[in-house]
Structure 1
Amino acid sequence: MKGKKATVLTFADKCKNILASNWQGHLNTIKADAKGSKEDIYTSKVKYILRRGKPYIWVPEKDLHNVNTIIDERGSFAVSSPIPGPLPSLLGSMKKLPARVALTGDVEPLKDGKAQSATESLREVLLSEQKVISQCSYTVSGVLSSSNLSYASRSESLKKLLEGDEKYVVYKFNFRSSMFIDGNGGAYEVDFEDIKASKADPLAPFSAMLIDGINQNGARRRALILFCFIYLNAHARVRH
């Protein structure tokens, strides 16, 4: 059987898929004190959802970002492809990093009404993903359910924003520039309007669960390699 050529994704598509598949990234803001901006960078990992093409970020109430953005709204946000389980260590041993997106722009705090609207969007995202999972075939459900929910499930992680005791401040990240960085460190500037206009792969929110679920079973890994070889003209191999 002759293999079919895979659809070529633009850098904007790749950026959108990464942003849609992950749920946490590193937010960078400029440190501030009573005298103003100190020009040093403060970084922490935060959770987010993608809404209308922009990241909406939940920052813990006691996080230093909340002070920094009062003085200076400038910031950057870095998100990588979600690689669950032992795969990051494997990539590190090969001196490779997951593909990632780097955004620069302004970190805009949302007032009560807009923050509540963002929270409702978060609830809708969780309900939508749960509905998709419940409607999956037996085979796909088996793959998803065998993944480790503690680190591979986007929904389980985001659900903690609603169910936990910790309080958050919600921000919208208005990015002005964007960069796609591949696994070899190659950086490519991407028009942020192209990212906003592109559409994410429907499987993107479940990619971490699918990857982890497949890697839990040797037969699944071999089947995936065969699929790539026959249908995608791609070379793949098992690494232990």
Structure 2
Amino acid sequence: MFPETRHFSAGVVHPNVPNAQNISVLNLLDMTSGLDPTGPMGDAPYNNDDANAQKMIQDTHYNEQNFGKWDYQDLDYILLSHILEKVNGQSHETLFNDIYVYPLKLKHTDFVWADQQKLKEVDFLFNGQNVDMNAIHGLLGAGSVAMSNDDLYKTSLDLLNGKLLSEQNKDIIYAPGNNALHYRGGLYTKNNHYESNGNGYGYCNFLRISKDGKNVVVLQSVDSSHYGDLSNSANKIYTDLFSKTRIKHLYA
């Protein structure tokens, strides 16, 4: 589906998205849309995804100076989730489960608004924080899914090894983005591997994975106050385990 839909604009969600006719799916994947939120991502109280999209669009500002420049905004991926809903005529939850959870037999993956027992099985608990579920629903597509280490690895591996994406689609989605940080599709492209990072609800997670998916470091923590240190630790662990220089030294 992606080659045919990659030229859709943000107007697929609603024509009132500022500069909708010029913002492509690739702009949203690259975080180069020039769109900025000026209010909450969703409606409160949460009613449905469509109402959330309308409220978000109403509070969206277009910054012409930032169009084509990398600017990390959850808004871009939230728009992508609503584009998928519109194009497929199904909810984001249904699409996610049908594409990932059921085919990959993921056992420890669920949406953050699942009941406490399911979240416990995923090893995801809110650590005593007061969490606004309206805000979490508003982050649909950008911060709404919890995964165990093994499920995160399995999903990432199957996105890179051809089981979920064709080579053509993988090359489109995970090509180095049109930005200085080489970001696209949730991944930063490095010389020999990809990186991704997440932070929210007191949790943080870091993925470092080789381009063939065979070498990986997954680090998740319930203490996001040390986000920078943990990111550096993930980098060091990956380098120590998998860098060519290190491997050559070990077998010399």
Provide the TM-score with structure 1 as the length reference. Answer: 0.24
Relative to total residues, which structure has the larger strand share, 1 or 2? 1
TM-score with structure 2 setting the length: 0.24
Question: Which structure's relative contact order is higher, taking Cα pairs within 8 Å and 6+ residues apart?
Answer: 1
